Amino acid sequence: MTYTEVTLEEASDVIKKAGFNNLLSIEKLDGGWANSNYLLLLEDQTKLVLKIWNEQSLDEVNYLVNITSYLFEAGIPTPNPIEFDNGEFIVMKDGLPWTILPFVDGNWLGNDYESLFSLGVIQAKMHLVKPPKNLKSDFSMGVKLFEKLFIIADAKNDWNDFLIELKSSKSLLLNLDKLPRGIIHGDLFPDNVIGNNNRVISILDFEEVCNDILAFDLVMTFVGFGWENGEPISERWNAILDGYQSIRTLSEEEISALPDLHKLATLSIAAWRYWQFKINMPGTEHESRYLEMTSRLDKVLPF
């Protein structure tokens, strides 16, 4: 998805600052709901990804680039940002941060057992990486976003069933404070994972990365990959969990908390969609997408 239109000439000017020349074509990339992504093809067949950060400030992008590089150096498969000739990883253009990444050739990860087992393995390995000291502890689609929606509802005197459900969910957090924490991606949905031959080859888009509850991140992956036609698929959960526990075993406390964590994860995605498509960008075909999540809350889960 793209929010900023980019011409061939504009893209060419930016990549020249990183030593790349002879841009042949530019193409909008699918995936992603918050920023603009383009595939760039050079005459020598080199492929790059140009990313325009529509929703993050320069400081926020610097932070995310540093965390991504940290994870890359720790062995987590993710594209390492390309440095510009001024020694920075970001250029500012029209008030927005622009970055360049190597293109990872593959497809969106499938939902077969091997693919999801591989995803569980990679996620567990990421959870075992020591968090950097500057890693934030606020999940951007969590309580802070909930509170923003409550403030808007108060100001407009517009409390609907979803917002009331969201407010009542805060009580779930009281029982989760002591669960293990570490680096979480926070948004491992199919459009953030590239695969090839039934295995993960790259994790994308760490905009929600933070230091938070590990098991929350695991069930968020199930929210993204584990459902079909509004129903949970137990085989997909088993595949993710098998892969995960081949590297890191969940504690009894984490297993007991999975239903509450899943509810919070589901509501977090619903809250982001509500904010993005009902408040921030109303009037599109996606305005009711949050209801896809709320319709899951009464389903029987495989844990």
CA angle 122, 125, 126 (to 5 degrees): 85
Mean per-residue pLDDT, 248-267 = 98
Mean per-residue pLDDT, 277-295 = 95
Q: How far apart are CA 126 and CA 117, in angstroms?
A: 14
pTM of the complete model: 0.92
Contact 215, 123 (CB under 8 A): no
Q: Which of 67-76, 166-175, 228-237, 249-258 has the lowest mean pLDDT?
A: 166-175
For 82-100, the pLDDT digits (tens) are 999 999 999 999 999 999 9
Tell me what pLDDT residue 215 has.
99
Contact 231, 244 (CB under 8 A): no
* CATH number 3.30.200.20 is the correct assignment for the domain at 8-103: yes
Q: Residue 29 has which token pair?
A: 């990339």
Question: How many other C-beta atoms can be found within 10 angstroms of the C-beta atom of residue 128?
Answer: 13
Alpha helices in the chain (DSSP H): 8-16, 58-73, 113-127, 143-156, 161-168, 214-225, 234-245, 252-274, 290-294
Q: How far apart are CA 153 and CA 147, in angstroms?
A: 10
Tell me what pLDDT residue 35 has.
84
Tell me what pLDDT residue 162 has.
97
Antiparallel, parallel or unpaired: β 181-184 and 210-213: antiparallel
CATH architecture of residue range(s) 108-294: Alpha-Beta Complex (3.90)
9 has a pLDDT exceeding 70: yes
Quickly tell me which residue has 């497809």 as its tokens: 107
- Angstrom CA distances, 156 to 129, 146, 288, stand at 43, 15, 19
**Per-residue b or e along 181-202, where b marks 16 or more CB atoms closer than 10 Å to that residue's CB:** bbbbbbbbbebbbbbeeebbbb
Tell me what pLDDT residue 203 has.
98
Of residues 239, 292, 243, the one with CA closest to residue 266: 292
Question: How many other C-beta atoms can be found within 10 angstroms of the C-beta atom of residue 112?
Answer: 14
Tell me what pLDDT residue 173 has.
84
Tell me what pLDDT residue 1 has.
52
For 44-74, the pLDDT digits (tens) are 999 999 999 988 999 999 999 999 999 999 9
Contact 68, 81 (CB under 8 A): yes
Tell me what pLDDT residue 172 has.
87
Domain boundaries, the chain: 8-103, 108-294
Q: pLDDT category, 2, cuts 50, 70, 90?
A: low
What percent of the chain has a predicted confidence (pLDDT) above 90?
92
3 has a pLDDT exceeding 60: yes
CA angle 192, 38, 80 (to 5 degrees): 55
Q: Residue 109 has which token pair?
A: 């990860």
Strand partners, 181: 213
Mean of all residue pLDDT scores within the chain: 95
33 has a pLDDT exceeding 80: no
